[in-house]
Amino acid sequence: MSLEPDPAGLTVLRDRFADIDRQAAQLSGYDQIYRQLSRGAFAGSFTTVEGGQGAGIYVETVNQVIEQFSSVPEGQTSLVFLCGEQPAARFGAQAFAPGTAMLLGAGAEVNFQSAPGTHVCVMTLGDEALRQAGDAIPLRPPARGETRLIDNPAATGRLVQTVSTLLQCALLAAGVGTDVIDGDGFTAEVAALMAAMTGLAGPGLADRLPSLDRRAALFRQARDTIHDALDTVSVPRLQKRLNVSRRTLEYAFQDAVGMSPHAYISVVRLDAVRRALKSSSDSIGDIAARHGIWHLGRLAGQFREAFGMLPSEMRRG
């Protein structure tokens, strides 16, 4: 179900998606890219509530293991947290569980891995509105490109409850009128929440992500190499390029994504083919070859196992 913008300045949208790229595009301005790491047809949902001054709350669910890459738009501050009890996710090199939140400044890179059943919430606010909201609360907004950890389960629990109430009010307002909440009221609520949570990321709390350990850093190097040379990359070439043993590489991938380097390369190749089928008119064989898949006889079966449909069906939309 999709709801149109409300006359009082509150935009409310809620929909379900069987297309992973359509869901990725819902968080406007973040230029999100989703890569599906688990097998099966994708199904997700996305709820958007937006007011003025960059105030927004976005909640999504997915039924697969998804790697999400994006960056915070200029002029915005974002807060990312999980809604209630659910499987732990990963934020960069760190386990990301309910009870914590990530505060991100404009330009900060987001590398998030969700598990099936993850309900992730993103709250946004324009930088100027955050500064104004912080006049009564001593706070240090995140610098450009900065990511800060808020490790306060009690405050994050209250945040989840308040956001849930806000979303219910917004959905009711969009359905029956503007008596429940309007755009200005929503913006004021978001500004107060963002200021309060920003104030918690100060002295006495871990306000920065811990530095990457060796395995996490190795995985990031390997992942970047894979994406830059998807047509030719292999596990032996990764070992040589990164000057590590196969066992060390295996440990790094198991820690980061729970799969072997070979399995990761395979799913990333299939996902790249999936996206290319939707944007290119080239033949399926040419697209597969560009991404390092040469056994076309196996492609159809692997593709259907990964995404629940054949490459030709994906192309037809």
Quick: pLDDT tens for 153-174: 899 999 998 988 888 877 766 6
C-alpha closest to that of 105 among 126, 133, 77:
77
Q: What is the pLDDT of residue 122?
A: 94
| Dist CA 175 CA 264 (whole Å) | 44
Q: Give the mean model confidence (pLDDT) for residues 102-107.
A: 91
Domains of the chain: 11-200 (2.60.120), 214-315 (1.10.10.60)
C-alpha separations of 222 from 35, 194, 242, 263 in Å: 16, 35, 7, 13
91 pLDDT higher than 90: no
Contact 55, 187 (CB under 8 A): yes
44 exposed, middle or buried (CB, 10 Å; 0-12, 13-18, 19+)? buried
Q: Which DSSP symbol is given to 84?
A: S
**Chain mean pLDDT for the chain:** 85
| Dist CA 104 CA 140 (whole Å) | 12
Residue 199 vs residue 221, higher pLDDT = 221
Q: Give the mean model confidence (pLDDT) for residues 4-29.
A: 83
Q: What is the pLDDT of residue 106?
A: 92
Residue 93 vs residue 52, higher pLDDT = 52
| 131 contacts: CB under 8 Å, gap ≥ 6 | 141
